[in-house]
Amino acid sequence: MNMKKWLTAALACSVFALAACGGSNTEKAASPAQPASSEKVYRVAMNAEFAPFESLNTTNQVEGFDVDLVNAMAKAGNFKVEFKHQPWDSLFPALGNGDVDFLTSAITITDDRKQTMDFTKPYFEITQVILVPKGKEIKSVEDLKKANKVGVVTGNTGDFAASKILGNESPKIARFENLPLLIKDLESGGLDAVISDSAVVANYVKNNSDKGFSMVAVPDFDIENYGIAVRKGDTATLNMLNDALERVRSTGEYDQIYSKYFAK
């Protein structure tokens, strides 16, 4: 092949190669962009042993006031959630370690807890009350001081209240891992009284009217509020939840959920 023919052929190949490359790029650019699968699902932990706020149904799915409220908030705020039931004493470490994104478990907002986590605006108001079995004459804090055994759930606000009245190391305080175990011991006669949240105690008395238990409200216990707990400094999640909570309140859906669980 002479030099002139060789240059002509080489030029033709170069043009063809460039066209082929250009065709490849054009085809790639024309392809539709794939949607990013980065939509976050917020992991929500709770101790589902505190009806009617959270409990497990017959298929081991979480249910209750807190569950319905968070689901309504997720819909209003256009985000997704998945719930996880775990022991009460593991909730706060799981939040701090980043294993979960927030906690919804009838958690009382306290100054001590606010040192290590942030809370949404309050979503439920309660106080501590005394659950008294039939045959026990306990109507005041002074009566409570004379009792042999007072049951509480370890780390709950009722535990703090009992410690304040009887002393943190008092042998009169019987601490339990969860509410079902606490109630079981009360029903079997092992306790003279229980201190717990008013809405939870009221729910138990309402659903067990045949057992003759009574709820005693005393002025010695302060008004408290539940809040959703997020990691300290996680303002993005906190603002998202506060905004969603406000939306649920403003539409009246909060009142509907409340009536479902607490209508008299």
Tens digits of pLDDT across the chain (264 residues): 444 444 444 444 444 343 443 443 434 344 444 334 347 899 999 999 999 999 999 999 999 999 999 999 999 999 999 999 999 999 999 999 999 999 999 999 999 999 999 999 999 999 999 999 999 999 999 999 999 999 999 999 999 999 999 999 999 999 999 999 999 999 999 999 999 999 999 999 999 999 999 999 998 899 999 999 999 999 999 999 999 999 999 999 999 999 999 966
* 252, 163: one domain: no
* 94, 178: one domain: no
By residue range, what is the domain housing residue 163? 126-223
| Structural tokens at position 197 | 């949240």
Q: Sign of the CA dihedral 177, 209, 69, 63? A: positive
| Structural tokens at position 248 | 């649920």
The pLDDT of residue 39 is: 76
The pLDDT of residue 17 is: 41
Rg (the chain; Cα; Å):
29
In a domain, 1, yes or no: no
* 130, 119: one domain: no
State the SS3 of the chain: CCHHHHHHHHHHHHHHHHHHHHHHHHHHHHCCCCCCCCCCEEEEEECCEECCCEEECCCCCEECHHHHHHHHHHHHHCCEEEEEECCHHHHHHHHHHCCCCEECCCCECCCCHHHCEEECCCCEEEEEEEEECCCCCCCCHHHHHCCCCEEEECCCHHHHHHHHHHCCCCCCEEEECCHHHHHHHHHCCCCCEEEEEHHHHHHHHHHCHHHCCEEECCCCCCEEEECCEEECCCHHHHHHHHHHHHHHHHHCHHHHHHHHHHCC
* 119, 135: one domain: no
* 133, 193: one domain: yes
Could you count the other beta carbons within 10 Å of the beta carbon of residue 260?
11
CATH code at position 242: 3.40.190.10
The pLDDT of residue 207 is: 92
Domain tally, the chain: 2
The pLDDT of residue 257 is: 98
| pTM of model > 0.85 | no
In a domain, 200, yes or no: yes
CA angle in degrees (0–180, nearest 5) for 175-177-182: 65
* 67, 116: one domain: yes
The pLDDT of residue 264 is: 62
* 182, 258: one domain: no
